[in-house]
Amino acid sequence: MKVVVGSKNPDKIKIVKDALTELHLNVDVIGVEIDSGITNQPLDKETTQKGAINRAKDAKRKIPNADFWIGLEGGLHDYHPSSEDCGVVSAEGYNLVTYACLIDKDNNEYIGEGEEIHLPVEVSEKIKKGEWFGKVIREYAKEHEIDQNLITRVYPFTQAIQNSYAEYLRKYGNLGYRKKASAVVVDNDKNFLIVQLVGYGNDDWNFCGGGIEKGESEKYAILRELKEELGGDKFEILKKTKLVNKYEWPVSVIAKRLKEEGKTWRGQESSIFFVRFVGNKKEIIPNSAEVKQIKWIKAEEFKNHFHFPGQLELAERIIDEFNIS
């Protein structure tokens, strides 16, 4: 696979090659000198993203014989006190932002964004006075311990590249849905078991469950998952619900699965079972590799724990189906 990068910078060329190789792609990456068409130090997301798009487009114009063309652009974005961007309240000052634009042979554009990194206040203040970010951050790093990605930008650029390729796969990769089985576990006192998985935020919770492996029945899969996650087998399947939870993954999850397993899906399609716990709760020993913590709650407490899109509504529909409250 031939990939053209809109830059002659050897570090950026290497980042692109390494990022795509991590996704199990065999790539030949070359760079070409282009003009980003924006200021050398973009100070907002819109300009930074435009720079990535311009680089990819110009790369294709100059070297039209390839499979993909990628433009990378790093910049800054200024957050004000208590300002809210994409639902996230950020601290005052600049964040480092990174974008990748991937263009395919049909001129479709796929945008990937890397993780934002907040700049030290001292650095932000100097930039606001007109100083150059690269110079300021290197001077600051001589006296302070900082995230080295503020200088190298390897990790956020890698994320941006892989997310842009995941966007491409979502449209043209014929990705299906991963089959999953979920368990709504209840005890004899109508308490529901929820889990906080490794990788979840501190306020994120879910019902137990996991992927159905090849050759497994749904019932076998859910009992296996419960034993793997909770270390016990005192679970009794009562009934399979009529509901099926089908949803799309964020591009970051699509890319993560591809990187870790060499395959990926566009999302999950989960069959949901109502399960009763019939053992002693002291027998439940969560698998720390998968589960951070567990909690037993009443149905009316779902609203305080289920924050993923559509999660609360689905839980309420499940409870309604079994007349449990």
- pLDDT tens digits, residue range 260-288? 999 999 999 999 999 999 999 988 999 99
* Tally of CA atoms within 13 A in the half-sphere of 256 that contains its CB: 7
Neighbours of 195 (CB within 10 A): 21
Residues 266 and 170 sit within 8 Å (Cβ to Cβ): yes
Looking at the fold, whether 27 and 138 belong to one and the same domain comes out as yes
Instruction: Give the C-alpha separation, 153 to 115, whole Å.
Output: 10
Looking at the fold, whether 164 and 181 belong to one and the same domain comes out as no
Residues 209 and 267 sit within 8 Å (Cβ to Cβ): no
User: In this structure, what CATH number is given to the domain that contains residue 292?
Assistant: 3.90.79.10
Domains of the chain: total = 2
Task: Convert the pLDDT of each residue in 78-134 to its tens digit.
Answer: 876 544 554 444 457 899 999 999 999 999 999 999 999 999 989 999 999 999 999
Looking at the fold, whether 110 and 211 belong to one and the same domain comes out as no
Residue 324 above 80 pLDDT?
no
Average pLDDT value for residue range 200-228 = 93
Instruction: Give the C-alpha separation, 289 to 324, whole Å.
Output: 32
Give the per-residue pLDDT at 90: 46
Give the per-residue pLDDT at 88: 47
Instruction: Out of 17-21, 149-153, 211-215, give the one with best mean pLDDT.
Output: 17-21
End residue of a domain, out of 142, 172, 202: 172
| Average pLDDT in the chain | 91
Domain range for 261 is 177-322
Give the per-residue pLDDT at 145: 86
